[in-house]
Amino acid sequence: MGKSKKEALRRTVLEAAAKLFAQRGFGGTNLQDIADSLGISRPALYYYFKSKDDILASLVEEVTVFSVHQATELASKADFNPSETLRQMVFNHAKWLLEHPIEFRVVDRTENDLPAATRRTHDKAKRALLDNFTRIVERGIELGHFRPVDATVAAFSIIGMCSWTAWWFMPHGRVPLDEVAKSIADFAVAGLRWGNNVLPREFGAEEALRRVKDDLAHLERLIRRSDKRR
Amino acid sequence: MGKSKKEALRRTVLEAAAKLFAQRGFGGTNLQDIADSLGISRPALYYYFKSKDDILASLVEEVTVFSVHQATELASKADFNPSETLRQMVFNHAKWLLEHPIEFRVVDRTENDLPAATRRTHDKAKRALLDNFTRIVERGIELGHFRPVDATVAAFSIIGMCSWTAWWFMPHGRVPLDEVAKSIADFAVAGLRWGNNVLPREFGAEEALRRVKDDLAHLERLIRRSDKRR
For residue B200, the model assigns a pLDDT of 47
CB contact under 8 A, A191 and B190: yes
What's the average model confidence in pLDDT over B159-186?
A: 94
Q: What whole-number distance in Å separates Cα of residue A106 and Cα of residue A34? A: 15
Q: Summarize the confidence of residues B2-17 as an average pLDDT.
A: 85
SS3 for B194? coil
The pLDDT > 90 percentage for chain A reads 38
Question: pLDDT, tens digit, for every residue of B155-169?
Answer: 999 999 999 999 999
Q: How far are the Cα atoms of A79, A83, B191, B193 from residue A146, in angstroms, in the given order?
A: 18, 8, 12, 15
- In chain B, residues with a C-beta closer than 8 Å to the C-beta of A105 are none
What number is the average pLDDT over the span B83-103? Answer: 92
ipTM: 0.77
Q: Is B175 touching A (CB cutoff 8 A)?
A: yes
Residue B22 has pLDDT above 70, yes or no: yes
Choosing among A109, A167, A218, which should be mutated to test the B contact, i.e. which has the most B CBs within 10 A?
A: A218
Portion 82-121 of A in contact with B at CB < 8 A: 109
Tell me if chain B has a CB within 8 Å of the CB of A8. no
Q: Which of residues B66 and A157 earns the better pLDDT score?
A: A157
Segment among A219-228, B14-23, B36-45, B88-97 with least mean pLDDT: A219-228
**Residue B216 — pLDDT band, cuts 50, 70, 90?**
confident
B91, pLDDT greater than 70? yes
pLDDT of residue A201: 45
CB pairs A-B closer than 8 Å: 143
Architecture, CATH, for domain B1-50: Orthogonal Bundle (1.10)
The verdict on domain B52-198 having CATH code 3.30.420.270 is no
Report the mean per-residue pLDDT for chain A: 85
Alpha-carbon Rg for chain A in angstroms: 23
Interface check for A42 against chain B (CB to CB < 8 A): the answer is no
pLDDT in tens, A18-66: 999 888 888 889 999 999 999 999 999 999 998 988 898 888 888 777 7
User: Could you give the CA distance from residue B86 to residue A172 in angstroms, rounded to a whole number?
Assistant: 29
Q: What is the CATH number of domain A53-198?
A: 1.10.357.10
